[in-house]
Amino acid sequence: MTKKIIVTGGAGFIGSALVRHLVLDQAAEVVVIDKMTYAANRANIAAAESTGRCRLLVEDICDQRRMADIIASEAPQQVLHLAAESHVDRSISGPRDFIETNVIGTYSMLEGARSYWSGLDAAEKAAFRFLHVSTDEVYGSLGPGGLFHETTPYDPSSPYSASKAASDHLAKAWFRTYRLPVVVSNCSNNYGPYHFPEKLIPLIILNALEGKDLPVYGDGSNIRDWLYVEDHAHALALIVSKGRPGETYNVGGRNERTNLQVVERICDELDRLVPGDRPRREQIKFVTDRPGHDHRYAIDATKLEDELGWRAQENFETGLAKTVRWYLDNPGWWTPLRKSVYSGERLGLTAPQKA
């Protein structure tokens, strides 16, 4: 029997990697719900749509009645909820969209799923899963040592991470109060193909190719744990199928790097593949740090590895090489975005937002 799955945010970066994995590798039938905001791109799921097992519904997850109708009519065995506003800098300059999409939208999806699930027979209820996909940023900032565990207290620093923390608490409350079979995942920084160029790695790749400055916040010492997006997609498919309801699973790549190390590695890889007139490290420019910038994130994925058997297939060097090569090979994907959607300007200004 072909599995029927709803993926919210499925035309975005992580969502589309998941959709491609579910459709192309697992032969599932997937319904994508996506508002198609600036960071979504239908080209991301073109290969999945071409199979006839993937359909896109352009809808707003904040429309609770519509979400309930879609879930009821599609009758999925699984709902994977990834739709979210996700860029920290944009949350600083415009937090309202983050509260609406990440908090109200998650509530809407949970209620739509609960309404559908409550009408299923016992066997269908037992098989149904709702996976809420979140971030390690809800945990706040680590010192020089230690790792984030599933039991780490929440301590969000930005409007983005606060909105995701709120949505995590909603998801867990819907399990505890209503017994809706919810599982939560929290991941480290993702990178890979189809990544919208506002994020660090694609921004640096494209700025470097265009001879522009390579902005590094502060002194570049902030540390992130990097996870190749296809490894994350495989983890999510595993968690929703085998994870225990009510549990949280952290997904990390065990690839800690400072931001400066990441930028320098990209420069060196581009110099090797497409040599220029000067080393691209000379384009690095240190800029004023982001407000509330967490110093270090690092995830302990032992629970996911031991309980469900997941293993990351890429380390940072192999994953970054694949990512750089993808951007070199796919200017037709990113050139229109750079010209008409986001050209690489600094985001994250703190001017107050009008009500």
Catalytic one of 136, 256, 264, 314: 136
Q: How far is CA 44 from the centre of its chain?
A: 14
> Is 203 a domain residue?
no
137 a catalytic residue: yes
297 a catalytic residue: no
> Is 335 a domain residue?
no
pLDDT, residue 87, reads 82
> Is 302 a domain residue?
yes
> Is 287 a domain residue?
no
Query: How many domains are contained in the chain?
Result: 1
d(CA 154, CA 170): 14
> Is 340 a domain residue?
no
Task: Output the tens digit of pLDDT for each of the chain's 355 residues.
Answer: 799 999 999 999 999 999 999 999 999 999 999 999 999 999 999 999 999 999 999 999 999 999 999 999 999 999 999 999 988 889 999 999 999 999 999 999 999 999 999 999 999 999 999 999 999 999 999 989 999 999 999 999 999 999 999 999 999 999 999 999 999 999 999 999 999 998 899 999 999 999 999 999 999 999 999 999 999 999 999 999 999 999 999 999 999 999 999 999 999 999 999 999 999 999 999 998 888 888 999 999 999 999 999 999 999 999 999 999 999 999 999 999 998 887 777 765 555 544 5
191 a catalytic residue: no
Question: Which neighbouring-strand residues pair with 209?
Answer: none
Catalytic one of 107, 116, 139, 160: 160
d(CA 40, CA 34): 8
Dihedral of the alpha carbons of 14, 18, 21, 27, in degrees to the nearest 10:
-160
> Is 264 a domain residue?
no
Catalytic one of 59, 137, 198, 256: 137
> Is 346 a domain residue?
no
Backbone phi, psi, residue 80, to 5°: -110, 115
d(CA 267, CA 274): 10
d(CA 288, CA 219): 9
CATH code for the domain of 15 = 3.40.50.720
- Residue span of the structural domain in which 247 resides: 4-192+226-254+294-316
Sign of CA dihedral 250, 252, 254, 256: negative
> Is 269 a domain residue?
no
d(CA 275, CA 342): 26
